[in-house]
Each structure stands twice: as C-alpha cells, then as structure tokens.
Structure 1
Amino acid sequence: MKNLILILFLFLSFILSAQNSVKGKVSAEGAPLPYATVVLVKTQLGTVTDSLGTYNLTNIPKGEYHLKISHTGFKNQQRKIILNDTTTLAFDFDLKADNALDEVVVTGTLKAVNRLESPVPVEVYKPTFFKKNPTANIFEALQNVNGVRPQLNCNVCNTGDIHINGLEGPYTLVLIDGMPIVSGLSTVYGLSGIPNSLLERIEVVKGPASSLYGSEAVGGLINIITKNPKSAPVFAADAFSTSWGEANLDLGFKANLGKVASLLTGVNYFNYSNPIDNNHDNFTDVTLQDRISVFQKLNFNRKNNKLFSMAGRFFYEDRWGGEMQWEKKYRGGSEVYGESIYTKRYEILGSYELPITEKMLFTFSYTDHDQNSVYGNIPYLAQQKIGFGQLTWDKKMSRHDFLFGTALRYQFYNDNTPATPKADKSWIPSLFAQDEIRLSEKHNLLLGMRYDYNNRHGNIFTPRLAHKWKINEKAIFRFNAGTGFRVVNLFTEEHAALTGSRKVEVLEDLQPERSYNANVNFLKKFYTNDGDYIGLETTAWYTYFTNSIIPDYDTDPNKIIYKNLDGHSVTQGVSINLDAVFQNGLKIILGATYMDVAKTENGMKTRQMLTEKFTGTWAISYRLKKLYLDIDYTGNVYGPMRLPTLGDSDPRKDYSPTWSIQNIQFTFNKIKNFEFYAGIKNLLNWTPNKGNPFIIARANDPFDQNVQYNPDGSVMVTPNNPYALTFDPGYVYGPNQGIRSFFGLRYTLK
C-alpha cells in the first residue's frame, strides 16, 4: 500500500512539474500598470498584475493559446503563444491609451462619463492624433477631423472660422474647459492663437447643443480640454520649422507648490516673417505673423479631494498681409495696401466644487479682447468683454441621474464703426435641467430643457431628448433630437465687409434663428483573435432652420445683405468614421461625410455658399519597430462648393474644384525622451489659384482708384477694368500655401 501511494505521489509530481507558466510585466507609457487583467482567451485561467505591474500564470496545460491583457482606459493587447511540456515563457506588454472609444467625456451631458455610456455621441481627439500632422495652432489642426473644416475668410488677413457639417462658423460654439469664451471677436481673430501645447483632448459634438450651452451651439460645438497639472509631464518642448520660414515653439513645465497646489505653465511662440508671392499678384500668399501665448493652470489640493482649479492665458499677435512692398509706415494709409491686425487678449477661467455633501460645481470665466486693425485705409478698433458663471448640481436618485444648473452671461462689445453707435451690453440669464433615466440594463433615456432670457429677444426655450440602446458590449445605437437657437452677433458675419468693397446692408430687425434637429448614431466594434481592432461609427442627421440669417452675396455684387430668410433652410447628411488598429503596427483612421446644405425661399431651393457636398479625411500610420520609425500619411478631400463671385462678368469660377491637402511625416523615437520628426505638407502642391485667372480681384488697384461707376451704382466696364470688378479678397475657400517641408524635435521629461 505504501508503495502504491509513493507511485501515485511521484506520478502526480511529474504531472505538476510538466505544467507550463507565463510571466511578465505590464506597463503603460513605460510606467508599471497595476490591476491589469491577464487571461488566456476561452479558458478559466487568469490573474491581475500586482502593484509593480507583474503577473505570473502557472499550471497551464500544454497547447496553443491567446494571451490577452486589458485595463480600463487602455487598448487591449493579445499575443499568440504555444506551450509544450515544462515551458516557461516571459512576455512584457506596454498598453496604449484608448484614444478612440473608452475616453471619459464631459461635453455631451456636462457630466464626466465613459464615452460608450454617453447618450450623446461625442468624438474625442487626443494630442497623439494631431501630432500626425503637426501644426502651430488648433485651428489648423482640425483640418483632419471628419465633418469639421477650418474655413479661411480672407485672402489677405487669413482670418477664419470653423465649419461643422457644412454650417458656417457662427453656428459653431468653441469652448475652453467648457467655458464659452471663444465668440465674437475671438471667433474671427483668436482661433489661430490657441496653441496645441495646452491640449489634453478635444471633444466634438455635431448638431444642436443649445439646451446645455445656449446660443451659438446650433451646428455643433468643440470643447478644448486643457491639461491637468497632475498628469502633465515635468517638462516638454516641441519645436519645428518649415521651408517657408515658419517657426513654432511650444514649451510646457509643471511644478508642485508644496502641498498647496500644482502648477502647469505653457508657452507658445510662432513667427512667420518671410513674404512669398508664388501666384504673382503682388500680394502675400500667407499672412505674416508674430504671436505669443502664455498659459498657466493651478490645481489646488483640497483635503476633501474636491475640485478647485484656476487658469489664465495671455495672447498677443501682430499679423499683416497685403502688397509685397507694404511696411508698417504705410499702416492705415492709401499709398500701399495692407491689412494689419494687432490682437491682445486675456482669459481667466476656473472651477470650484462646493465644500458640501451634494455634488455642486461652480465654473466661471472672464475674457478681455482688444482689437486694433486697419484694412487698407479703414480702421477697425474694437473691444469685447465676456463674463460667464455657471452653477450645476449633479444628483442621482434611484434610476434617475439629474443635472440642474443656472448660468449668467454678460457681454460688452464696442467698435468705431457706424454700425455700433454706442456700446452694446447684454445679459443672458439661463436655467437648465436634465434627467438621464436608466430604463433597463440596455436602455437609457435623457430628457433636457433650457430657458434663456435675452433683453432683445425675450424668452427662449430649448428642449432635448436622447435615447441610448446598448445592444451588447460591441454595439450601441443612439437617437438624439432637440432644438437650438442663435442670437445674432452681426460682427462675426460682417467681417467680410471690412476687407473689400462690399457694403453690409441689414434690411430688418434680425430675430434669433431656431433649429430643429434629429440624428441617429450607430457604433460597432470588432475584435480578432490576433488582437486587431476595428471600430465603425456612422451618423445620419437632419436639421431644419427657421429665421435663418444667411448672407446674400447674389442680389448685389457690391453688397452683403442680411435679413431673416422668408422660408427655411435645411442641412442633412450622413457621415462614417472607421478606426482600425492592427498588431503589425498599422493604424488607420478614415472619415467621410456627405451633406446637403440648402435654403428654400419663395419656393426656390438653392445651395448655400461655401458648403461642400462631401468631405473625406484620413490618417494612416505604420510603425517600423526595428527602425524605431513611425510613418504618418494624413490628408483630406473636399467636394465642390459655391463661391462668392462679383457677378456674371467675374471670370473666377463659380464653384471650386474637388481639392485635397495631403501630408506625410516620419518620426524617429529611438533616443529616450526625444522624438525627431520631418515631412512634407501639401504633397500635391495644391492652391486655390489653379484654374483661375486670379484669386484677389483688382489686386492691381486695391483702393479702387481706377474703378468707374454707372449712374445706378454698378461698376462700369472700362479698358482698365474689363470685368467690371472692384477690389475683393473674399474669394477664398482653402489655404493658399503650396508644398513645403518641415522638421521638428520633441523632448518630454515625465
């Protein structure tokens, strides 16, 4: 009997000793990642990493397996392994943040929720996305976001706005940390002054969001979330230059102020002082700029761990464009044409969570914007001050997740134009409420309502409804419906009149625009056994506008006419986004949007100005691990859009061609903490002047000194003016900057 027991013991010992094991370490961006889940797919074997990020799986029968590593907020990784008798394998994993799907977002509902759990579809873009095509500011960086188009509005001064799904800039609300401080003057002059160095992520909501954010959030909104000092690197530097002579420098560093607070400082400097005239019209192809932006953010450490942060930014820019021989001594005169713009801007914003049991948050901001500009011999001097305060109460009760809030916005605006005989001061108090109801495990319903009072337009109500159906862990269906409104800020629309000969004519007392929107969104995720991932998201939308205020360039080529549309306008379309990550180092982000933006007046439907039928964007990346080299190929394509010509005799094309901007970049990252990158922008060397006799009308006579007029006020045809035109730099729809190379260096100390 003893011999039998001994034989069984020896046999069992042999069996156990023949078992296999797998061990290793899991990290994230080089730092140990505790509590990561480690499993063998389709088995009951698994574990979690310890505080040092290490794991050890033992007693694994021989065979072929897929080892899967996962952690909330990071992309899963899988590896195929083959285990024989008494095999011990070691595998280390470095997880990457899931930039596409598992982000925590706040823009859709004013609550911090996982993007997959939000009933409102929110697109998230992190700095890694924008590094694929480095730019000097966020305005330019948005060119590779599907359905979003940075639109230049002037060939000379290069000011611009942001279009979402074909709607012009005034319909897009741009926020910084949820604060509506980018509007009016800053929408026209300040967008290019937001540096990438302060960026934590950008959240994009397409479609009306007025029930939470009020006026201007009619077409959609862009929320620029700034970095948290606690998670920012100790020091970071990013510098690049282009063959056109552009130079950009981003610096960032953080410091701990004892136990009281942590401080983040960011500095951006951009300079372009190399006049270029490749299209030979004697005008600068790109505006010359000298710009500095300084940003500071303080996060205070409170005993109760409640939020208290303050941030401030100072921005100054000196930009000019015009005739190649222009100098500052000609500023404001009629001898040489130039558009010179001095912009000075202060911003303060903060968040304070009240020291009470209930979750109540007070957010506030104040901006002071001073504009000193001349357009030829026309001065434009303006000041704008915006104050904003908002208090929200986040309350959960049973199946209900409530949000109650009140906000107050003050705006001061004054300029030296006849359109502003006295300073404009307005107050807009608001109340809003939202309830997200958990109907079941798979169904959530969101109901919301906002009330605003405007001293010129009275009471304004904006309701919303959203439904999320979580079909399973890999598929989500969303339906959203609601209304939006926009209180007119005519300065934003009439800026085009400052840079040419067109005069603004307002035919009536303009009433707020109203919109009614519905959209459906479907998200599907696919995973393979090899660890590859494909995400597919598609959205269809329909928005109906009443009281539309659409600038009329057609009735009179010498005027921009404004009135409430006697009819309606509609924007509708469908978009699709594809995000794929493969274990072989290939990453693909593709986007496509088809849209129809039109107005109907007196029974006649016409396509709106500067709205493309379709757009496409892409970012294709491939990593050559052995060479420590990343290759990024990015680009966009835009369909034809109707352009503002100066009448039937204008030889410039009425519609733009289909056009594309494409870029390639190579990044070398073998040296610790350093990245060297270089590439080519605008590979196709495309510019708007191709196929056109000229872009700027009457560039040889910018003060219209040789223009003659008929008795009815129309321009007369003369030998010197065969097309009967006046000076007009407003025929612009894309950047007038051709092919160029760039080289840059990044250093990050974590």
Structure 2
Amino acid sequence: MKINISYTLLLLVTLLFSGIANGQNNGIEGKITDHEGPVPFANLYLKGSTYGTSANEDGFFTLEKIPAGTYILKVSAIGYQNFSKKITFDKNQNKTLNIELIQASEQLEEMVVSGTLKAVSRSESPVPVEVYSPTFLKKNPTASIFEALQNVNGVRPQINCNVCNTGDIHINGLEGPYTLVLIDGMPIVSGLGTVYGLSGIPNSLIEQIEIVKGPASSLYGSEAVGGLINIITKNALDAPTFFADSFVTGWGELNVDVGAKMKIGEKTNVLLGVNYFNYSNPIDNNGDNFTDLTLQDRISVFQKWDFQRKESRLFSLAGRYFYEDRWGGEMQWTPEFRGGDEIYGESIYTSRWEILGKYQLPIAEKVLFSFSYNDHSQNSVYGDTPYIADQRIGFAQFTWDKKIKKHDFLVGTALRYNYYDDNTTATVSADEVVIPSLFVQDEIALATQHSLLLGMRYDYDERHGSIYTPRMAYRYKITDNDILRFNAGTGFRVVNLFTEEHAALTGARDVIVTEELDPEQSYNANVNYLKKIYADNGTFISLDASLFYTHFTNAILPDYDTNPNQIIYDNLDGKSVSKGASANIDFVFPNGFKFLIGATIQDVSQTENGITQRQILTESYTGTWNASYEFRKLNLSVDYSGNLYGPMRLPTLGESDPRSDYSPVWSIQNIQFTWKGLENFEFYGGVKNLLDWTPNRGNPFIIARANDPFDRNVTFDANGDAVATPNNPNALTFDPSYVYGPNQGIRGFFGLRYRID
C-alpha cells in the first residue's frame, strides 16, 4: 500500500511539473522596424509580469518561457510612439510578431534644442517646441521647406508676388519678417535669404524641424519676434549610406534629392546632399497672359563634417551653396527682354553660400563656440526696374553651460555682423553694423514637478542704442503625460525695408517711407498644455493646445489703403496685437490608422488714431489635417492631407477695384499612395490640389492691368492718381500684389525613393 501511495504521489508530482513546464513553454519572436528599417535596442515587456527583453542592434528580439495567460505586450523606443498589443498564450505556443513603430510628428521624448539652446527632451523643455520629422514631410512631398510647412498648424507659407512667386513664412498670422529661420541653430536664413533662400535645403538631410511660436529674441536677437523655425540636419553617423528621392508632376516639375555619407579616416564622417529642381513649362490657365507658376532652375549642394573627439566633445562643420534662376511674367517673355520695357518679366538670379560650425572647447567646463557666415548676391529685374543687392551676415557665439545644484545656467556672448547694400533710393550707402550681445539664462528646479526659467539678453546696435529683452518660462509637470507651461517675454526687430516687403519692388505702386524707422518691440505671453494618452489596446492620443497674446509697439506695417498708388511705411502710432488659440490632436490606432488635426483661431489687428482694423493678408482661422492608413499586408500606405484658411483682407486698389476685398474660405488638399514592397525602395504617387482651387475663382482677374504692365495706357491726374477712362474704367494701375495663395491647380505626381543603410 505504501508503495502504491508513493507511486501515485510521484506520478502526480511528475504530471504537475510537466504541466507547469508545458504551460511555460510559450515564446514570441520577431523584428522591430520603422518605415525606413530596423529599430535597434527597443524595450519589450509583458505588462503586469516580470517578463521582458530588448531588441538587438538589428531589431530582432526573442522572449521565451512565458506562462500561459493573456498579456499586454508593451514596446518602447526613444523617438517613437509606444506600442501595445494584447497577446494570449495557451500551451506550447511560439508566436512570430513583427512590429513597426511609428515616428509621430508629436513625441514628448524627442530631443529639442530651440527653446533653450540646450538639448533636452521635449517633455523637460520649459518652452513649448513643436517637432516635425522627415516622416511628416513625406506625407506630402514637396520641393522645398517653404511648401512643406503648409500643413503645419498655425504656420502658413505666404506668396508675396503673383509673378515671381517669392514668399515668406507666417506664424500665428504675423508677417514673414517676424519669423527667424535657423539651420542647425544658426541664424543664417534672414533678410534676403528669407524671401529667396528658403528653398534648396535637401529634404533627405533633415533630421527634424523645430518650431517655437512667440518671441525668442532673448536667445536669438533680432527677427525672432513672432517665432522661429530651426531646421536641424542629420548627424553623419545617423544618416543612411546612400539616399535618393526624385519626383515629377503633371505640370512638368522635376525634383531630385540625393544624399550620401562617407568615412574619412577613423574619426571623420562626411555627409553630402544635393538638391536639384527644375520647372520650365510656362502655363497660363487663368488666361491673363502671365505665367501661373514661376519657372525655376535651381541647385543646392550641402556638405557636413562630423569629427569624433575625446570625451565625445562636439565638432562639426557644414557648408551650402545655392544657385537659382527664376522668372515669371508675360508668356512671350524670353531672357533677351530682361530689364526692358517691351515685354514684362520678373527675373531673379540668386547666388548664395553659407558656412556654419560648432566646436566644444577642450576644457573641463562645457563651453561651445558656434559660428556662421553667409554671402547672398541678388541680381533681379522687375519689368524695367533693376534690384541689385548684396547681403553678408557673420555670427559668432560662445555659450557656457553650467549646473550648480538646482540651477542650470546658460551664459553666452554673441557678435553679429550685418552688411547690406542695394541700388534702391532707400539705401543711399551700404548698411554695415556690428552688434555685440550678452545673455544669461537660469533654469531653476523648484521641485520634482516644477521648473522656472529666467533669461535676459542685452544687444547694442549703434543705430538704435541698447536693447534689453527679458523672458520667463514656467513648467508644471502634472504627471509624466500632462505638462502645463506658461511663457512670457519680449522681442525686438531691426528693419531693413527692401529685404522683406516684396511688394515694394514689383508693380506700379510708389514706396513712401515717412520717417526714420525705429526697431519694433513685442511683448508676448502664452499658455500651453500638452497631454498624451496610451490606451491598453495600443491607441495613442496626443493633445497640444495653446493660448497666445502678442502686443507690438513701433510696428512697421505696409499701408496699402491711404493711397492706392502707394505703399506707405512708418512706425505705427498705436499698437498691433496678435491673439488667439491653437490646438493639435494626434491619434494613432493599432489597426494602422493615424490622424493629425490642427486648428488656430486668431485675431491680428492694428490700432492707430483710435481706429482698429484687421491686418491685411491675415486669416481669422486656419485648419490642417493629415489622415494616414497602412495596408500592412499590401505594404501600402495612404496619406490624405489638407489645409483650410478663413477669409483675409486683400490689398485692392481702391473702391473702384472690382476684385474682392476679402478672400473666400479656401483649401488645398492632397492624396498620396506609397508602396514599400521592394527592399530599399519606396514608390509613391498621388494628386495635389484635389479641389483644383486657385485664387482667380470669383474674381474678374488677379493681376490688375495685366494687359498693360508698364501703364502706357493709364491716364494720371496732377496728383499722380490714375483716372477712369474708356480704356481703364476702374482707374487701375498694374498691380501683382493681390495674392494670397498659389495659382497652381490640380496635378498628379509620381516619385521613387531608394535607401541603403
């Protein structure tokens, strides 16, 4: 009997352990990738258990000996949205799961530098910074950064000329000169460069684009009044070995982007990028005998050197050369008519080169030397009016980054050299000035969840004297997924009229400057709330909402209304105000559907002599969206993007002008299909401007007196005002400044990307 009992117990124990062993003989393996390739060293774990692992450098992972049951698999990697999936194991199941992580446009874990001049995670920055990755740019492929920003909430590319199609970037309704554009943190795209040089930055070399809305003059000086856009290029170590991207459109546009990296010796990595764009097919769909889209031929070459040094100290050097030949005008224009008064054309030759670098000093303290220099040469004619200009900007800056207990200091000094000369009467002699600056910033860790940033900058401009720009930022990290920020500060802008207001050079309006222009000053406050939600089913939601208010004194705005034949510039004797609210909501669902929607409501006005009116060319509301869906089994993704703009006041030529004083509500929408079924290749194509919207809808014409661009048949009175005649019943003069959107209608496009890691 004892033997039988012992045998039975032994059998039961054996069966029990066998069952446990079988119950734990479950496993899962697979590969973690993004849309471009493997994601190395991602973390994986089963929620509510002790089971977890990490992917290797090629993205492969294995998780073994998992007990039977139902789990939530969590996957995380820096720079990607978290991934969640419910998994059930019975017995002896070995599952294969390949996971594609998403590089969302909004991520709290991304590293940003634009808000504080320090690399910090987005969640830790006291200054709200919006981040847009190359993935975002690819959802609506464009030939320039200028066009790519059309789907960023609160940011609008403004075309300033119907003929030559030059433009600038508006942030929260503020004119382009209020926006500072940086490359790798260096203010080299300004003045002439903002108007003509924002194209030609190879998209293949962009790591991310950071946008700060609101004054940033306390760190960056003049021009960072309304906000800044920082285009950060890739580090050579992280760039693909080779990258090519090219597309063509139904209008005949061709864009080619090529990038490559190479290693020179053991400690030097070089990144090379080339962008070429050509459009040489004159089209006049609106029938005014003027080109709807400016013809362009441009090339940009970019090279960046990264040097490996002891203790990982930074040393990088980059350079870019840009050349563009663009023209627009009457359809029969050819280069032999350039500068003459027989056939009207606007022809612009732009030659520009830039160099920038960063060098960390070989000392115990963290001291960084940054420098940049650019030379911009402009040879332009607008009909028979020449505009020849040269601009050179040099910039050098030392920053000392020091932490002392709860204080994180940044102390710096900068020297900026500005040279500008043109052939207009507004520039009697070359404008040359050296502006020294000092700035200090202290970020104080008040408590675990609270931080306070205080900053002050001092600039001395011999034309205007001493300029002070303080700022303050407060961050309250309610939870890891809830952040509240409050920012307040000041900004200033020193104006060079002809580098920023293109309407002053085109058309028949006279430019009147009534006084010596003083620097503009702004006072800003904004509140920002950022929240992210991770649901157990893998759904991700991000909310980014802001309230903003900016008050300007000494504002310099073009006056188109007082005299329809003039553009009058002076310092506003009153105030200019930009206020409103904006929000972005980002949805990502585990079934492959992604949706990003943004909206901005704004009121931009100017008050002078007790009269308040809405600022010209400023919409009262905007909307942007991007919807994406991935058919994973087909290796196919679909992207539907678009924008919506409310009415804006337009520069008409007086009460007799038959053109509408306000634009309609208008929208540009695009759809794209991308197939990734062939290794290293991506094929994409779609339709741009699905609604075939152009600004001539509802208007008798867009360009006034397009049939008489030199005003030969216009009769003027003794005061120089046009008078009504049978030939000119509305008393108009030639005027191409009535523009608020692109004239380019619906078109298809097709492209190919090739990448070797």
Is the TM-score greater than 0.5? yes
* Aligned equivalents of 2:356, 2:44: Cα separation in 1: 42
Change (3 A) 1:86 1:673: closer
One of 46, 50, 69 as aligned partner of 2:52 = 46
| Residue 27 of structure 2 corresponds to residue 22 of structure 1 | yes
Structure 1 residue aligned with 2:227: 220
Structure 2 residue aligned with 1:666: 673
Structure 2 residue aligned with 1:296: 303
Contact residue 104 and residue 133 of structure 2 kept, 8 A: no
| Residue 169 of structure 2 corresponds to residue 162 of structure 1 | yes
The residue type paired with residue 259 of structure 2 is G
* Aligned equivalents of 1:54, 1:263: Cα separation in 2: 29
| Residue 359 of structure 2 corresponds to residue 355 of structure 1 | no
The residue type paired with residue 457 of structure 1 is H
Give structure 1 stretches of 5+ with no counterpart: none
SS in 2 for 1:216: coil
Structure 2 residue aligned with 1:77: 83
User: How far has the Cα of 1:129 moved from its partner?
Assistant: 0.6
The residue type paired with residue 78 of structure 1 is S
| Residue 459 of structure 2 corresponds to residue 459 of structure 1 | no
User: How far has the Cα of 1:227 moved from its partner?
Assistant: 1.5
Contact residue 192 and residue 499 of structure 2 kept, 8 A: yes
* Aligned equivalents of 1:192, 1:691: Cα separation in 2: 31
The residue type paired with residue 712 of structure 2 is Q
Give structure 2 stretches of 5+ with no counterpart: none
User: How far has the Cα of 1:329 moved from its partner?
Assistant: 0.7
* Aligned equivalents of 1:293, 1:59: Cα separation in 2: 55
Change (3 A) 1:441 1:275: same
Structure 1 residue aligned with 2:378: 371
The residue type paired with residue 79 of structure 2 is G
SS in 2 for 1:192: coil
Q: How does 1:580-591 map to 2 (within 5 A)?
A: 580-591=587-598
* Aligned equivalents of 1:32, 1:608: Cα separation in 2: 49
Contact residue 23 and residue 54 of structure 1 kept, 8 A: no
| Residue 483 of structure 2 corresponds to residue 476 of structure 1 | yes
Structure 2 residue aligned with 1:645: 652
SS in 1 for 2:199: helix
User: How far has the Cα of 1:9 moved from its partner?
Assistant: 4.6
User: How far has the Cα of 1:195 moved from its partner?
Assistant: 3.3
User: How far has the Cα of 1:397 moved from its partner?
Assistant: 1.1
User: How far has the Cα of 1:200 moved from its partner?
Assistant: 1.4
* Aligned equivalents of 2:717, 2:257: Cα separation in 1: 54
Contact residue 237 and residue 251 of structure 1 kept, 8 A: yes
* Aligned equivalents of 1:255, 1:36: Cα separation in 2: 27
* Aligned equivalents of 1:55, 1:671: Cα separation in 2: 23
Structure 2 residue aligned with 1:398: 405
* Aligned equivalents of 1:372, 1:605: Cα separation in 2: 39
User: How far has the Cα of 1:383 moved from its partner?
Assistant: 0.6
| Residue 328 of structure 2 corresponds to residue 321 of structure 1 | yes
Contact residue 25 and residue 32 of structure 1 kept, 8 A: no
SS in 2 for 1:346: strand
* Aligned equivalents of 2:33, 2:718: Cα separation in 1: 74
Change (3 A) 1:270 1:57: closer
* Aligned equivalents of 1:185, 1:740: Cα separation in 2: 30
* Aligned equivalents of 1:433, 1:7: Cα separation in 2: 77
* Aligned equivalents of 2:64, 2:403: Cα separation in 1: 44
SS in 1 for 2:126: coil
The residue type paired with residue 358 of structure 1 is E
SS in 1 for 2:508: coil
Percent identical: 65
User: How far has the Cα of 1:25 moved from its partner?
Assistant: 3.6
User: How far has the Cα of 1:521 moved from its partner?
Assistant: 0.5
Contact residue 26 and residue 95 of structure 1 kept, 8 A: no
What's the TM-score once normalised by structure 1's chain length?
0.98
| Residue 95 of structure 2 corresponds to residue 89 of structure 1 | yes
Deviates more, 1:185-194 or 1:356-365: 185-194
Contact residue 292 and residue 744 of structure 2 kept, 8 A: yes
| Residue 69 of structure 2 corresponds to residue 63 of structure 1 | yes
One of 108, 120, 128 as aligned partner of 1:113 = 120
Residues 565-624 of structure 1 deviation map (CA, whole Å, 9 limit, x = unaligned): 111111000001011111111111111000000011111110000000000001111111
* Aligned equivalents of 2:31, 2:482: Cα separation in 1: 28
* Aligned equivalents of 2:426, 2:53: Cα separation in 1: 70
Contact residue 629 and residue 666 of structure 1 kept, 8 A: yes
Change (3 A) 1:516 1:382: same
* Aligned equivalents of 1:701, 1:458: Cα separation in 2: 47
Deviates more, 1:4-13 or 1:230-239: 4-13
Contact residue 26 and residue 36 of structure 1 kept, 8 A: no
| Residue 114 of structure 2 corresponds to residue 100 of structure 1 | no
One of 310, 313, 317 as aligned partner of 1:306 = 313
One of 444, 455, 468 as aligned partner of 1:448 = 455
SS in 2 for 1:644: coil
Structure 1 residue aligned with 2:14: 10
| Residue 424 of structure 2 corresponds to residue 417 of structure 1 | yes
Change (3 A) 1:545 1:673: same
Change (3 A) 1:337 1:34: closer
Residues 475-504 of structure 1 deviation map (CA, whole Å, 9 limit, x = unaligned): 111110111111112113442121111111
What's the TM-score once normalised by structure 2's chain length?
0.97
| Residue 601 of structure 2 corresponds to residue 594 of structure 1 | yes
Residues 13-54 of structure 1 deviation map (CA, whole Å, 9 limit, x = unaligned): 224313233231443447665543322223344344456655
User: How far has the Cα of 1:65 moved from its partner?
Assistant: 1.6
* Aligned equivalents of 1:547, 1:737: Cα separation in 2: 37
Structure 2 residue aligned with 1:496: 503
Structure 2 residue aligned with 1:522: 529
Q: How does 1:568-579 map to 2 (within 5 A)?
A: 568-579=575-586
The residue type paired with residue 535 of structure 2 is T
Contact residue 192 and residue 500 of structure 2 kept, 8 A: no
Structure 2 residue aligned with 1:267: 274
Deviates more, 1:546-555 or 1:78-87: 78-87
SS in 1 for 2:150: helix
Contact residue 431 and residue 451 of structure 1 kept, 8 A: yes
SS in 1 for 2:235: coil
* Aligned equivalents of 2:498, 2:385: Cα separation in 1: 16
